[in-house]
Amino acid sequence: MTGTKEGAKPRVLLFLNRLVIGGPAIDVISMAGFLQNDFELLIIYGEKESHEVEATYLLSKYANLKLKKIPSLRRSINPFLNISVFFSVIKIIKSFKPSIVHTHGAVPGVLGRIAAFFCRIPVIVHTYHGHFFHSYFNKTLSTAIILIEKMLANISDVIIATSSRQLKDLVDDYKIAPRNKVTIIELGIDDAFLISANQESNSFAAKYQLSTDTITVGIIARLVKVKNFPLFVEVVAKVLKKTSKKVVFFVIGDGYLKTDIQKLFSEKGIVWSSNELHNTDASVLFTSWVSNIGDALSVLDIVVLTSNNEGTGLSLAESQYVGKPVVATNVGGVPDTVLDGKTGFLVSPADADTFAEKLLLLIEDEQLRKEMGTAAKVFARSKFSKQHEINSLKQLYTEQLKKNSN
């Protein structure tokens, strides 16, 4: 049903969950901005959750991108809504007539790939920014998800993993797809969305004015179960108990567990503050979502992540990109994102003592922070090249179109 006229740009339909602050949206929008010179693109996406912030600022640099929202597409699993979404996607595909459908995220990966297959789209591509094979749901549901993903792999032409660890999960550990269907394209970081404004115009720094001797530690994540915030709370308690330095922890993000996490801090006698309840004596500051993450990173000295499962860990890549050392759990694609002992430290998600110990090393030793931060910047700017990501995608699209035209 599709076909590209001679001399015309190939049409690509990009499908992601939601256009909100977070890794997938940041990656897809910047990716589309670079690809639009070579391909005619349409981005479709769903409705945000109540606690999320729609990241329309991402479009400021790429004003010519074409987007279409499907309001019935939501994060929750609702069979009736998803049937509506499925037919909406089919309608869009028949109207846009893409040669490639490239899905990002769980629900788009299911509905988008089935719709593309139904419409006989020549090339179907899916990117795993993370996966739900463990740590999200109970064993029964996780097993069902794995079975569904195996079936979807059969109708996919290419599956993209964002790290070698993720490739191992897909090919060896969970046997989602054969090796010849899976390729690695690491996420690239677009400077335009990351490099902070100067200090005078930095609204984040202006809002949270801290003394020059304060050490700032931040976690940038959705406030959901898989991010393992109980571990973060334990680490904060241990660090505050052992250090004599003035340390302030930032929780940058939002989610349905926000109140529960704040309660955990209160139970440990740790003073916290939020936008709604400001307290200048707080050791933990809840900022909710921050649109310009570069401004926030410029204020932080160290970045941490306590996840039980993670795709690539974009916040870790971004933090290192601007020279911040990190401490993170050794899960998912994180070992491919951090050089343990050089750009930061990796710790078991079950070991709060060691996590706190490694974090304290960076808090107490300014020289170590500087050395690891410098190494982090060199490493991240080499590894997470946006141009490399774009070149790899262009090559993949072109090769698949050529293959399917024969």
Residue type, 63: A
Question: What are the tens digits of pLDDT across the range 101-154?
Answer: 999 988 899 999 999 999 999 999 999 986 666 655 677 877 888 899 999 999
Residue at token pair 């463990």 = 134
Question: What are the tens digits of pLDDT across the range 50-79?
Answer: 777 787 777 877 778 999 999 988 766 666
What pTM does this model have?
A: 0.85
The whole-number pLDDT of residue 204 equals 83
The whole-number pLDDT of residue 87 equals 96
Question: What are the tens digits of pLDDT across the range 356-367?
Answer: 999 999 999 999
DSSP string, 97-112: --SEEEEESHHHHHHH
Residue at token pair 């996919």 = 156
How would you list the strands of the sheet with 158-161, edge to edge? Answer: 67-70, 40-46, 11-18, 100-104, 123-128, 158-161, 182-184
| CATH 3.40.50.2000 residue ranges for the chain | 11-188+385-405, 192-383
User: Tokens in use for 195?
Assistant: 């490099």
The whole-number pLDDT of residue 48 equals 86
Contacts of 130 (CB under 8 A, 6+ apart): 309, 310, 311, 312, 332
The whole-number pLDDT of residue 197 equals 47
Which pLDDT band holds residue 37 (cuts at 50, 70, 90)?
Answer: very high
The whole-number pLDDT of residue 365 equals 98
Burial grade of 195 (CB within 10 A; 0-12, 13-18, 19 or more): middle
The whole-number pLDDT of residue 266 equals 97
pLDDT-above-90 percentage for the chain:
67
The whole-number pLDDT of residue 143 equals 84
Residue 400 has pLDDT above 70, yes or no: yes
Greater confidence, 133 or 299?
Answer: 299
Contacts of 370 (CB under 8 A, 6+ apart): none
Length of the chain: 406
Which pLDDT band holds residue 194 (cuts at 50, 70, 90)?
Answer: confident
Question: What are the tens digits of pLDDT across the range 312-323?
Answer: 788 999 999 999
Average pLDDT across the chain, whole number:
90
User: Which of 171, 127, 157, 131 has the alpha carbon at shortest distance from 31?
Assistant: 127
Assigned architecture for domain 192-383: 3-Layer(aba) Sandwich (3.40)
The whole-number pLDDT of residue 137 equals 62
Spatial separation of the C-alpha atoms in residues 275 and 184, rounded to whole Å: 40
As a whole number, mean pLDDT of residues 318-332 equals 95
User: Tokens in use for 113?
Assistant: 């790939």
Query: In 326-385, which residue ranges form alpha helices assigned H by DSSP?
Result: 352-364, 366-383
**CATH class of the 11-188+385-405 domain in this structure:** alpha beta
Greater confidence, 154 or 281?
Answer: 154
Question: What are the tens digits of pLDDT across the range 210-260?
Answer: 888 999 999 999 999 989 999 999 999 999 999 999 999 999 999 999 999
The whole-number pLDDT of residue 22 equals 73
The whole-number pLDDT of residue 76 equals 63
Residue 233 contacts residue 98 (beta carbons within 8 Å): no
Strand pairing of 284-288 and 158-161? unpaired
Which pLDDT band holds residue 198 (cuts at 50, 70, 90)?
Answer: very low
